[in-house]
Structure 1
Amino acid sequence: MPERKKVLLRLDPAVHDALARWAGQELRSTNAQIEFLLRRALNDAGRMPTEAEDIPRRGRPRKQGPPEDSRG
């Protein structure tokens, strides 16, 4: 995976606070919330580059369900 770009972003403090609260409610970092919203906007506008990789998954792995019965 290529190194992720670092970008300085200037935001109104009230906008940042609102994003931080929203991110906390969705268990994301503020940075991840901004990327999530930018990607949604690109998709909605039909401008998401085809070469863009998925957002890397962070945190604890998902729980696996019970094994399926293979006896048919």
Structure 2
Amino acid sequence: MPKDVPSARKAFPLRLDPALYLALERCAAAELRSVNAQVELLLREALARRGVALADPAMPRRGRPPKAD
């Protein structure tokens, strides 16, 4: 992939306080999400409260692929 084309997801290391991570795990489990998805949701909510507009996240296509003719 060329360097000027962003990948679908940006990976980076994140260090968290263990108590904060446990709280994220509990919240994620209660909402049937992964911790990663919970962190992303919370960051999007925080940015929205600050008035930072983001494009809607690209959702992967689910289900069967369309039939070829």
TM-score, normalised to structure 2's length?
0.69
Is the CA contact (8 Å cut-off) linking 1:39 and 1:48 kept in structure 2? no
Q: Detail structure 1 runs of 4+ shifted over 4 Å in the superposition.
A: none
Q: Which among 52, 57, 68 is matched to residue 54 of structure 1?
A: 57
| 3-state SS of paired residue (1:6) | coil
Deviation at 1:47, TM superposition (A): 1.2
> Following the alignment from structure 1 to structure 2, what is the Cα–Cα distance between the partners of residues 9 and 55?
23
From the superposition, tell whether residues 36 and 16 of structure 1 become closer, same or farther in structure 2 (CA, over 3 Å).
Answer: same
Q: Which runs of 5+ in 1 are unaligned?
A: 62-72
The letter of the residue matching 1:22 is: C
Q: How far is 1:55 from its partner?
A: 5.5
From 14, 21, 25, the counterpart of 2:30: 25
Aligned-residue CA RMSD in angstroms?
2.5
Paired residues for 1:1-72 under 5 Å = 2-49=7-54, 52-54=55-57, 56=59
CA deviations 1:25-64 (Å, max 9, x no partner) are 0000000000000000111101133xx3426369x87xxx
